[in-house]
Amino acid sequence: MNEADVRERLADVGDPDLGDDIVSLGLVNDVEVDDSEIRVSLALGAPFSPHESAIAEDVRDALADTGLDVELSASIPNKLDADEQVLPGVKNVIAVASGKGGVGKSTMAVNIAAGLSALGARVGLFDADVYGPNVPRMVSAEERPQTDGETIVPPERFGVKLMSMDFLTGEDDPVIWRGPMVHKIITQLVEDVEWGDLDYLVMDLPPGTGDTQLTILQTLPLTGAVIVTTPQEVALDDAVKGLRMFGKHDTNVLGIAENMAGFRCPDCGGFHEIFGSGGGKALAQEHELPFLGGVPLDPAVRTGGDDGEPVVLEEGETGDAFRVIVENVANNAGVVRRRGVSEGR
Ligand SMILES: Nc1ncnc2c1ncn2[C@@H]1O[C@H](COP(=O)(O)OP(=O)(O)OP(=O)(O)O)[C@@H](O)[C@H]1O
């Protein structure tokens, strides 16, 4: 068994999204073979995503009958040097955005972060929602991050490192959120917070398409954005504005998630589509974007957001709905990363 034999076998492993085999796509970096072991380094970028886990499993299967141990590693080298990178320890930055307020963007961000962590990933949640910060509510006053003026250690919940703009400005400060101020704080949050090594940093953006969002798009290397909408016409119209903003900045959209998509009545057991149905899916189709899934109206979502744990960590229909979205987000982040490699970006 030599390197060429290994590559020949790996040419039978298909990529579930990109429609070709992993060798042709350039997703096999290094192959080393010695007497006891085969070491393969794969260009996979979305740790713990189901599709990339499946690719790794298929690689193991393809080499299973060689009688040698198989050691896999996965990385996509950054083209920039470490000191040129904005967040060198962070593999993927995922922004969660909505065109208008109140559609459940923060809820989605928290559940995506907790869900990715439950899959096994190292995750941070950065609450940049200056108008309705949610992270401070998840952390008791004593747990607020201490800063010695230089570095800030983020507190943790559900295995997720948490940071909020609010932690820096103080709850009582009537901060005027203008461009330069926002830029300064975002830079500080990125440079001074000890995120450590993260597979995913989920950013809860403020609703809308204003200065803060633009600053973030310009400052941070995003893998992609998740757009949250409810099925109502007005929310969908605003979601389109969000799409346009990301389009202008060449930011990948990982897909559209629909919130408050129907209500399972606990009394009658029926399913009521209070805000209409299918709007998010239709919007995704119209713009040729992935539909990530829909989450119903469920009082457990709100109580989970207030003091309990995110519903994605619980059994049941609504938890399942969030888990589908989490898996689709991770899979689609993987598509963006692997496509980048195979297209030489
Ligand atoms: N699927 C749901 N079922 C029940 N309640 C929900 C659901 N999604 C969100 N909520 C509740 O609706 C309220 C608004 O949600 P959230 O804060 O996530 O919205 P948002 O879009 O981030 O709003 P904003 O950024 O404008 O503050 C919260 O009280 C939240 O708990």
Express each pLDDT in 10-65 by its tens digit: 999 999 999 999 999 999 999 999 999 999 999 999 999 999 999 999 999 999 99
295: domain CATH number? 3.40.50.300
pLDDT, tens digit (0-9, with 9 covering 90-100), for 52-108 = 999 999 999 999 999 999 999 999 988 777 777 888 899 999 999 998 888 999 999
Could you tell me whether strands 37-42 and 69-74 are parallel, antiparallel, or unpaired per DSSP bridges?
Answer: parallel
* Same domain assignment for residues 310 and 171: yes
* Same domain assignment for residues 132 and 234: yes
* Same domain assignment for residues 16 and 109: no
Nearest CA to ligand 1 atom 9: 104
Contact between 304 and 316 under an 8 Å Cβ cutoff? The reply is no
* Same domain assignment for residues 12 and 139: no
* Same domain assignment for residues 67 and 141: no
23: domain CATH number? 3.30.300.130
Report the domain count for the chain. Answer: 2
Please give the Cα distance from 75 to 91 (Å, whole number). Answer: 9
* Same domain assignment for residues 52 and 194: no
Question: Phi-psi bin for 76: left (phi > 0), alpha (psi -120 to 50), beta?
Answer: beta
Q: Establish if 65 belongs to a structural domain.
A: yes
What does the H/E/C string look like for 127-159?
ECCCCCCCHHHHCCHHHCCCECCCCECCCEECC
Q: Domain boundary at 74, 94, 125, which?
A: 74
Q: Domain boundary at 58, 74, 90, which?
A: 74
Q: Establish if 27 belongs to a structural domain.
A: yes
Could you tell me whether strands 160-164 and 156-157 are parallel, antiparallel, or unpaired per DSSP bridges?
Answer: antiparallel
Ligand 1 and 104: CB distance under 6 A? yes
Q: Which residue from 138, 135, 129 is spatially nearest to 98, judged by alpha carbons?
A: 129
User: Is 105 annotated to bind ligand?
Assistant: yes
Q: Establish if 138 belongs to a structural domain.
A: yes
* Same domain assignment for residues 268 and 149: yes
Q: Domain boundary at 18, 53, 74, which?
A: 74
Global pTM value: 0.93
Q: Establish if 103 belongs to a structural domain.
A: yes
Nearest CA to ligand 1 atom 2: 297
Which segments of the chain have a pLDDT < 70? 141, 147-149, 168-180, 306-307
Q: Establish if 58 belongs to a structural domain.
A: yes
Helices 299-306 and 105-119, axial angle in degrees (round to 10): 80
Q: Establish if 165 belongs to a structural domain.
A: yes
Pull the structure tokens for residue 156.
């943790």
Q: Establish if 339 belongs to a structural domain.
A: no
- Going from the Cα of 228 to the center of ligand 1, the distance in angstroms, rounded, reads 11
Contact between 124 and 202 under an 8 Å Cβ cutoff? The reply is yes
Could you tell me whether strands 90-97 and 69-74 are parallel, antiparallel, or unpaired per DSSP bridges?
Answer: unpaired
Contact between 99 and 222 under an 8 Å Cβ cutoff? The reply is no
- Going from the Cα of 134 to the center of ligand 1, the distance in angstroms, rounded, reads 10
Q: Establish if 267 belongs to a structural domain.
A: yes
Q: What is the pLDDT of residue 212?
A: 77
Nearest CA to ligand 1 atom 28: 302
- Going from the Cα of 39 to the center of ligand 1, the distance in angstroms, rounded, reads 46
- Going from the Cα of 103 to the center of ligand 1, the distance in angstroms, rounded, reads 6
50 is in which domain, residue-wise?
A: 3-74
Ligand 1 and 50: CB distance under 6 A? no
Contact between 224 and 94 under an 8 Å Cβ cutoff? The reply is yes
- CA-based diameter of the chain, in Å? 67
Ligand 1 and 111: CB distance under 6 A? no
